[in-house]
A and B are shown apart, each in its own frame.
Chain A
Amino acid sequence: MSTMLNIAGLWKSFAGFVATRDVSLDLKAGELHAVIGPNGAGKTTFFNLITGHLRPDKGAVSFEGRDLVGLPPQKIVRLGIARSFQRINIYPRLTVFENVQVALIAHEGQQWNLFRPGRSLHREGTAELLELVGLAGEAAETAGELSYGKQKQLELAIALASQPRLLLLDEPTAGMSPQETAATIASVRDIVKARGLTLLFTEHDMGVVFGIAERISVLHHGEIIASGEPESVRNDPEVKRVYLGEGGGHG
């Protein structure tokens, strides 16, 4: 497998607080990679640096050989990286259907079409994606009125609409019940495998991670303290000390 995403020596600080400290990571095409760490470890900042939402102070990010630093989010998406957000980030007043439809319109570059009726475009593609994430029955509902778990699913559908090769999911199961979590994780894994995507996701729940990830990196105080296969990470003494000890149950 070739390297798809290469991150080297990434730094970011906010008013003296170092949120990302010399982070390096290689992501191979087709791999399911989890970034774990307690709340405040810098997982979301890390994602924001990759996707152009934040600009790193130092370091390099390259995707399929292309330098991403300095590119705005809309350019990075078009290169093939889509993401979801930890905190729900949808269009609350649009319908569920339109939330996905707009993403397909943007993916096809049709946002500059002033004549074609927007609501007639990509109806099939939208329906397929909603079916895929289990929201076919809620298509006509106002997105902001969905339950939390369903809004998370909608986030996933929006991200998939950009037809990414690399999918970044920021805590895809945050706030979900254990049953919802299990179902979501299973569905994410199936989708990613079926579409041949590469997945980078963050989680704070250890159980979720070991169920899906092929490789795990542990972020602590903005630094990667361990990276590798689940078993080796689980047995890493440093990880045990700073992370597993806190939650218990996996040590």
Chain B
Amino acid sequence: MPERRHLIASAIVVLLLALLPLAGSRYAVDLATEVLIYALFALSLNVVIGFTGNISFGHAAYFAIGGYACAILLTTHNWPLIFALPAAVVLAGLVAAVVGYFCVRLTQIYFAMLTLAFAMLVWGVAFKWKAVTGGDDGFTGIKLPAMLAHHVGFFYFTLAVVAVGVAALWVICHSAFGLTLVAVRENAVRAGFIGVDTRRMRWAAFTVAGTFGGLAGALFGMYHRGMYIENAYWTESANVLIMVLLGGIYSFVGPIFGAAALHLLQVFTNQYTPYWPTVLGLILLVIVLVLPNGLIGLAARFKARQGKT
């Protein structure tokens, strides 16, 4: 039961975003499109991290599968978008289900390493299967419906898809399933003793995460009119992981803020210096040392302090 103020706040955010193209800046619209896509990507990863307490180091795999599959179906097979997009999402979810089946047998660092290993396999396929994926040249020239060819049209499409995706994730994360996942994260042993099959719960969460990660990837590919093997590389997994950590894993909306902050920071940093990786390293240091609960945790601390004085 979403509280009224949450619904109102979300409606206002969507409305404000919808008004953005009126400002007339293509740059702003493109930037907003990118942030929306990364926000969905980060939120999907947090289903695994925040809700099951395990770090996935290979989330780019599902992003890439969604992106490549949608691109290939649209372009090579001339599928209409209305079939290509759902098919790509389902494929990403299915692969996540297969990979997750093995990964959830492990926890913590072993889980993280296994997710990384599978993601590198996906990268390997994208790299080697040149006939289908374009290999290291990337898969370019994605065909889009005329309506989405213009950047404003694509922005509205992205806004709608991301809004639906975020709403769906909100429902799932706040459902009986979501609450039980939090219990599994907090204390897997106790959760077992109330009758919960913790491994199957974590498996389902992993599949949900992969599915929505695939949706984000499909949007990403269409936006850039191309998918590249870097999108499946481990650095992409690390990037989205940092977004999630920066935003805060214990809050549903945290990763959205993390994605926006990190992506905008990267874009602006790149305008002034080529040393983005250095800046990223510094951000990571700050998260680990002073922001263990991310930006959301910082906001909560600030609020608590104001309440006291």
Contact = CB atoms under 8 A, between A and B. Distances in A.
A90 B194 CA distance: 11
Nearest to B171: A115
Contact of B171 (A82, A92, A94, A114): A114
A102 B195 contact: no
Contacts of B176: 105, 110-114, 116-118, 121
Contacts of A91: 182-183, 186-187, 190
Q: Is the interface of B mostly helix, strand, loop or mixed?
A: helix
Given A72-B192, A115-B175, 17 more contacts: A73-B193, A74-B193, A74-B194, A77-B193, A90-B190, A91-B182, A91-B186, A92-B186, A94-B183, A105-B176, A110-B176, A111-B177, A113-B176, A115-B171, A118-B174, A118-B176, A162-B194
Given A90-B190, A111-B176, A114-B177, A119 B195 contact: no
B161 interface: no
Nearest to A168: B193
A101 B192 contact: no
Q: How large is the interface on B (under 10, 10 to 19, 20 to 34, 35 or more residues)?
A: 20 to 34
B46 to A, nearest CB: 16
A12 to B, nearest CB: 18
B266 interface: no
Contacts of B186: 91-94
Contact of A77 (B177, B187, B194, B204): B194
Interface string B265-291: 000000000000000000000000000
A68 to B, nearest CB: 14
B176 to A, nearest CB: 4
A4 B196 CA distance: 24
B194 A106 contact: yes
B180 A111 contact: yes
B32 to A, nearest CB: 29
A118 B192 contact: no
A201 to B, nearest CB: 16
Contacts of A117: 1, 171, 174-176
Given A91-B187, A119-B1, A78 B179 contact: no
B195 A89 contact: no
B59 to A, nearest CB: 20
A141 B176 CA distance: 20
Interface string A70-91: 0011100110001101000111
Interface of A: 51, 53, 72-74, 77-78, 82-83, 85, 89-94, 98, 101-103, 105-107, 110-121, 158, 161-162
Interface of B: 1, 171-172, 174-180, 182-183, 186-187, 189-198, 201, 204, 250
Contacts of B171: 114-115, 117
B158 to A, nearest CB: 24
B194 A94 contact: no
B48 to A, nearest CB: 15
Contact of A74 (B178, B179, B182, B197): B197
Contact of B175 (A72, A106, A118): A118
Given A111-B201, A113-B177, A161 B194 contact: yes
A239 to B, nearest CB: 31
Nearest to B2: A117
Given A89-B187, A91-B186, A93-B186, A118 B180 contact: yes
14 contacts: A53-B193, A77-B194, A94-B186, A102-B183, A111-B196, A113-B176, A114-B177, A115-B172, A117-B171, A118-B175, A118-B179, A119-B179, A120-B1, A121-B176
